[in-house]
Structure 1
């Protein structure tokens, strides 16, 4: 910006708002002279604003609903100005940053850009207190910068109830990304997006088989929104996610598992406080719920070792027995 002695009233008012947002908060105030120093840094040493104009600007900001706190200890002493009430509390900004850092589908560069933008939602002084964010582990971050674009397109398709087509793939043992179905397109009715197990998933009806499936968005390629619309039937996303284990698909069925009491909080975290739980003696409880029969379910149960025993259905009992026998054979 060119160096000037005066700026018009509207520009001066906007600049004052910017200074208060960026350089003041609950613990940092600026006097009239300090406010003027900030103006001079932007417009040059010859910049002039009298106290009456400054007072009018502050009155206009207050009248428009912008918070300006005026602090004067005693009559005759200097007044200090600050902007204290913001849309986000500091702890809320920290939670946002921690969520961004923890999200695997966000690339390392996007993580840094988002953190930089989040810090602009508070003063420069409080932004420094947000430096203790979680360590960005680049080894588990997505390498695909297209995820954010796919998320936008998919949300729009869900809202507009449009059929979409895309390619889908996975990495092989050579760490090469290979497309499934020989690169053929998946044609689906998008129902919802969900963020679970550190990844974004698209939940959709796969039209070829007429069944609900889910797809990791970082594995989706070349999304196309078609002109074909579909009728949306009510779909309980929360129930679907809760019934899956490690996001493995499968048919839903009733299961009954006996757990040691030490795992009660883990089960309540997973299934919610409304889940059917019955005491079984002094040291165990029985959990009854619907779940999707899949490799993910078996792995989840085996994760608890001897602290969990499947009671029903018989098919799941046999699956667990078979896996335990295979593990025993592998290590014997």
Structure 2
């Protein structure tokens, strides 16, 4: 016994909290005989007056146990939850859809999310999520890599790491023979279900991005980051919008003529960053002006929109697009 509080009392509070989290919610209740029977199974024998005292202690800590009168009797429940059932379903679906998590880690996180619900809601959270049918990461260090990167950013430190790539045998192998990359980390971006580090490349003296699930052996150098002047005017959100598939390219302001039916495609991709005006020569068309990092991935995205779009300017982008489509056609003709 310490400070007048017995071990039994401490355990009773923990067990009661566990009981009310698992067996009650907004619509499910417990009666006093059920509560006392539960405690007796834990070898804790107390009367209802002591239980009322424990309820007051739990309420004082913010864990509210609410009593409801019913036909001359009382029933009790813990109605409040950090997340409601709809929010928990959303979290589970988001975890299942996250490609940067391994199947094992996804299952672990889903089980933890389900533990936040009562036993009754838990059944509704069996979402039959087919993790095995989804594209999932096979690198189980993504979350650890994120922790290391955020720690480096908070410490204003450079990092070194080794970078991986896939080989034809479906194995990750070191790029550049395992040579260490040295960068100054500035931001993390989630794009197309993958996490990317946006960093200043100390050797090349420019900003680059790296897939975090392909980084290995991250080490904090505790040397001050470089590239602060460049990053000062850098907007990670704009960078993500402009970069297709996180493939780099030079930034261009591109004007595109598109069918009115395709305007939504540009708004969905670029939001308010897509500047729209009517095509004064054709009421069925709209002129879209966007700032984008031109790359083969950007051209492929435009190509998928078919004859409903046409690049108007600049000429350099038009010529690159024509050259790319010609080279693809040549590959098939040969």
* TM-based fold match above 0.5: yes
Within the alignment, does 1:303 sit opposite 2:300 as a pair?
A: no
Equivalent-residue separation in structure 1 for 2:260 and 2:171 (angstroms): 44
Gaps of 5+ in 1: 1-5
Could you say if the C-alpha distance between residues 98 and 73 of structure 1 is closer, same or farther in structure 2, counting changes exceeding 3 Å? same
Q: Matched residue of 1:310: which SS?
A: strand
Could you say if the C-alpha distance between residues 33 and 7 of structure 1 is closer, same or farther in structure 2, counting changes exceeding 3 Å? farther
Contact map agreement 1:98 1:133 (CA 8 A) in 2:
no
Equivalent-residue separation in structure 2 for 1:30 and 1:193 (angstroms): 46
Within the alignment, does 1:313 sit opposite 2:310 as a pair?
A: no
> What does the per-residue CA deviation read over 1:185-225, in whole Å, with 9 as the maximum and x for residues that have no partner?
11100011111101011010111111111100111111111
Please give the TM-score of this superposition, normalised by the length of structure 2.
Answer: 0.91
Could you say if the C-alpha distance between residues 215 and 119 of structure 1 is closer, same or farther in structure 2, counting changes exceeding 3 Å? same
1:67 maps to which residue? 64
Q: Calculate the aligned-residue CA RMSD, in Å.
A: 1.9
Map residues 202-221 of structure 1 onto 2, 5 A cutoff.
202-221=197-216
> What does the per-residue CA deviation read over 1:15-37, in whole Å, with 9 as the maximum and x for residues that have no partner?
21121111110121111111123
1:238 maps to which residue? 237
Within the alignment, does 1:224 sit opposite 2:223 as a pair?
A: no
Equivalent-residue separation in structure 1 for 2:138 and 2:61 (angstroms): 45
Gaps of 5+ in 2: 1-5
1:110 maps to which residue? 105
Equivalent-residue separation in structure 1 for 2:103 and 2:133 (angstroms): 6
Q: Matched residue of 1:323: which SS?
A: helix
Equivalent-residue separation in structure 2 for 1:283 and 1:328 (angstroms): 30
Contact map agreement 2:185 2:225 (CA 8 A) in 1:
no
The aligned length equals: 322
Map residues 122-137 of structure 1 onto 2, 5 A cutoff.
122-132=117-127, 134-137=129-132
Equivalent-residue separation in structure 2 for 1:133 and 1:254 (angstroms): 45
Contact map agreement 2:273 2:290 (CA 8 A) in 1:
no
Map residues 154-173 of structure 1 onto 2, 5 A cutoff.
154-173=149-168
1:144 maps to which residue? 139
1:263 maps to which residue? 262
> What does the per-residue CA deviation read over 1:104-162, in whole Å, with 9 as the maximum and x for residues that have no partner?
11001100000011111121211211111532135621111122211111111112111
